[in-house]
């Protein structure tokens, strides 16, 4: 069983919402679509669900043309970022609602509802009213209502985006177990997100979207190690991967007259010339023997500190352990861990990665 998209395009006036989108998804797998706001993620999910018709291209599921199947006959469940529950119904009645609409027998409804509530950690909540639940519990109810359908395709459109940070973190971990169970039942799960951490944590296959296109599809590990372009490196890292222009010259990397360092061994096959270099925040640290920078901003995040620094036109962000205080304009010495350095061509294509990727 597979879901195959072939050259899907949706255009409104001069703007593409989907632009020549093609992919193949297999049963028993989890797929995460990651992209910035307006990348086309929701449009793609709604197209799969049949709520939007493509201007060109097509979808097939298990060898059948999806375009010829009415929406109500597609074995699809969808959870939106603005989750919807019926406030006048109990938790049990909310989850059972789509099954009652389909005329399923009461004993089967009861079995499915109890199973779904157990999967989302809401055993014993069946008699409660929706208003008595927290935001996270209400999101679980919406998820249970999609799972109870035993659909072949489950679509989740940024289901955690409207919850607070701690709750998102908690539910993200719980969803991993739920999704693994659902995938093992031969369903296809498609989850959209703007959060790189969320996408990497869910694992499975990742589809990176930008301006209506899928610009890379690969495993979470491959996306992390070998982003095929500067655009992918920005979308799939938080904070975005530091990018800076420079040259390879005489066995050195030259970023400015004051910032030069030896060529890392994984760059040995690259020619001399101009490149865009990339380095994640965690590979930038403070060192007394480093290069001179000035502090622009210090952000404390939990037990870590994001340090924004500048040297003339070069701006970078480093991730430091522990809470550390800095003053704006303070002079610091910055070290680049070049064994983690990426090289991209001037047009943005990956040329070399520390993990052996070479385009």
- Number of Cβ within 10 Å of residue 285's Cβ equals 17
Q: What is the pLDDT of residues 258-277, one digit of tens each?
A: 999 999 999 998 999 999 99
Burial of residue 9 (number of CB atoms within 10 Å: 0-12, 13-18, 19+) = middle
Q: Which domains does the chain have, with CATH numbers?
A: 2-235 (3.40.50.300), 242-352 (2.40.50.140)
* Residue 359 clears pLDDT 60, i.e. is over it: no
Q: Given pLDDT bands bounded at 50, 70 and 90, which one contains residue 183?
A: low
Angstrom CA distances, 124 to 83, 115, 211, 357, stand at 21, 12, 44, 50
Q: What is the pLDDT of residues 135-151, one digit of tens each?
A: 888 888 988 888 888 88
- Number of Cβ within 10 Å of residue 94's Cβ equals 24
Give the DSSP per-residue string, 151-178: -SEEEEESTTTTS-HHHHHHHHHHHHHH
Between CA 101 and CA 121 the distance in angstroms is 25
| pTM as predicted | 0.89
Q: Are 205 and 191 in contact (CB under 8 A)?
A: no
């Amino acid at each position: 069983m597979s879901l195959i998209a072939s050259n899907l395009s949706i255009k409104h006036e001069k703007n593409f919402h989907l632009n020549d989108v093609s992919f193949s998804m297999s049963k028993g797998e989890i797929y995460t679509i990651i992209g910035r706001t307006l990348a086309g993620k929701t449009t793609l999910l709604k197209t799969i669900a049949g709520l939007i018709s493509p201007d060109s291209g097509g979808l097939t599921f298990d060898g059948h043309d999806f375009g010829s199947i009415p929406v109500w006959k597609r074995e699809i469940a969808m959870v939106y970022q603005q989750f919807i529950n019926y406030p006048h119904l109990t938790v049990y009645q909310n989850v059972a609602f789509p099954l009652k609409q389909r005329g399923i027998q009461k004993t089967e409804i009861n079995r499915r509802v109890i199973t779904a509530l157990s999967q989302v950690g809401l055993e014993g909540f069946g008699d409660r009213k929706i208003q008595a639940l927290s935001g996270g519990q209400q999101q679980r109810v919406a998820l249970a209502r999609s799972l109870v359908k035993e659909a072949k395709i489950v679509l989740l459109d940024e289901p955690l985006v409207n919850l607070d940070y701690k709750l998102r973190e908690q539910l993200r971990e719980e969803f991993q177990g739920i999704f693994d169970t659902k995938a093992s039942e031969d369903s296809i799960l498609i989850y959209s997100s703007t959060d790189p951490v969320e996408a990497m944590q869910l694992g499975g296959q990742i589809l990176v979207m930008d301006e209506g296109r899928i610009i890379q599809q690969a495993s979470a590990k491959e996306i992390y190690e070998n982003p095929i372009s500067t655009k992918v490196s920005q979308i799939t890292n938080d904070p975005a991967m530091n990018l800076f222009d420079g040259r390879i010259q005489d066995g050195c990397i030259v970023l400015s007259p004051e910032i030069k360092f030896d060529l890392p061994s994984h760059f040995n096959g690259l020619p001399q010339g101009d490149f865009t270099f990339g380095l994640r925040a965690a590979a930038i640290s403070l060192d007394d023997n480093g290069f001179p920078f000035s502090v622009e901003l210090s952000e404390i995040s939990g037990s870590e500190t994001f340090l924004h620094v500048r040297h003339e036109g070069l701006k970078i962000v480093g991730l430091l352990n522990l809470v550390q205080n800095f003053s704006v304009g303070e002079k610091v010495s910055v070290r680049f861990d070049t064994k983690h350095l990426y090289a991209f061509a001037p047009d943005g294509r990956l040329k070399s990665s520390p993990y052996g990727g070479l385009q």
